[in-house]
Amino acid sequence: MTDAYVAIEGERVIEARSRSPGTTRGELVFTTAYTGYEESLTDPSYEEQLLTFSYPLIGNYGVREERFESDRIHPRGVLAREMTDDVAEWLQEEEVPGVDHLDTREIVTEIRDEGAMKCGIAAGPDATEEDAIEQLHQCKHMSEHTDIGSQVSVRDATVHNEGGSGPDVALVDCGAKGSIIESLIERDAVVHQLPYDATEAEVEAVDPDVLFISNGPGDPENFEQAGEIVEEFVGELPLAGICLGQQVVANALGGRTEKMEFGHRGVNQPVRDLRTDQVVMTTQNHGYTVADPGDKLEVTQRNVNDDTPEGLDNEDLGIITRQYHPEANPGPHDSLSFFDDVIELAEE
């Protein structure tokens, strides 16, 4: 049954089946993860994107809230080869359009060949090709979402594990996954979750032992205030960052970031530590990367597949950042020790 249409850049239209009706648009990306669809769908880093699952069956172990990374679904739309009723009903409850019965292998191949693309979806009994094409025409490039941080960040400062015996962490929330906060709490840190546009005074009020820039969606150059916070406190406080956080730190300290062709999204990205020559498997979700770290940051880890920087350090300034998601939800646990390093940095 065809009652949904996917319009891809160049106005090529693919027929599909509607599992959650509606119209939507966004940057079309894919993830290679074969588990963890609940974590992926609630990852704030997918804001303003349409997520294609390369694994053919999505929803085969149900939907459980304890696996969520945030309080809602973040992709603007979902594409799958086959979607179970559990996932379809979840999408319907949150009014997120979803489609299946389409060749996701072809879509993934096209994204790999052409790069992430604009896309529009129209799904439901009254959907037409023209509706999907109209959504495509209204779609923006990711760099044009200049205030995307406001869509994924807390609005007011929130304290987690108040009274904990560990260091105070000022977490600038650019779209933080819940498991990052949980990983810090497990090490008894007191986590002060601050808005993405937190001011110098708000950070100082926390009196933190370490400044932590979180993951998040979109172009790191659009997180100007987070970059200014890094500039203000570098050398005074230890700095840590994950994913977008690494990019924000690099930009703030004289480096340069750039858009990738189709990004890294999945749970099987190999990363080599240049100091130990050890390779670990990592979970990743990003469409931008550090093109030039500048002269203040040393590249300590690189992606085995494409040589992009995966880790930046400066021991003298107390800086440690990672491009991947060390908390590994979903994914391998090879890199969990990053949080031990952050706590050690704060305690020193």
Q: Is 327 among the residues known to form the active site?
A: yes
The contacts found for 89-95 with CB under 8 angstroms, 24 or more apart, are 90/41, 90/63, 91/19, 91/20, 92/19, 92/20, 92/21, 95/20, 95/22
Cα separation, 175 vs 169, in Å, equals 16
Q: Are residues 87 and 129 in the same domain?
A: yes
Q: Are residues 331 and 214 in the same domain?
A: yes
288 is in an annotated binding site: yes
331 is in an annotated binding site: no
The pair of structure tokens assigned to 52 is: 């294609």
45 is in an annotated binding site: yes
Q: Is 325 among the residues known to form the active site?
A: yes
**CATH classification of the domain holding 32:** 3.50.30.20
Q: Are residues 136 and 153 in the same domain?
A: no
Q: Are residues 109 and 229 in the same domain?
A: no
> Which residue segment(s) compose the domain that 17 sits in?
4-140
**CATH classification of the domain holding 271:** 3.40.50.880
Q: What is the pLDDT of residue 337?
A: 87
216 is in an annotated binding site: yes
Cα separation, 227 vs 250, in Å, equals 9
Show the low-confidence residues of the chain (pLDDT under 70).
328-335
Q: What is the pLDDT of residue 328?
A: 67
Q: Where are the alpha helices (DSSP H) in 51-188?
A: 85-93, 104-114, 129-138, 149-152, 178-186
Q: Are residues 190 and 270 in the same domain?
A: yes
Please identify which of the residues 243, 264, 286, 310 carries the catalytic annotation. 243
Number of domains the chain is built from: 2
- Residue ending a domain, among 140, 171, 189, is 140
311 is in an annotated binding site: no
246 is in an annotated binding site: no
Q: Is 174 among the residues known to form the active site?
A: no
285 is in an annotated binding site: yes
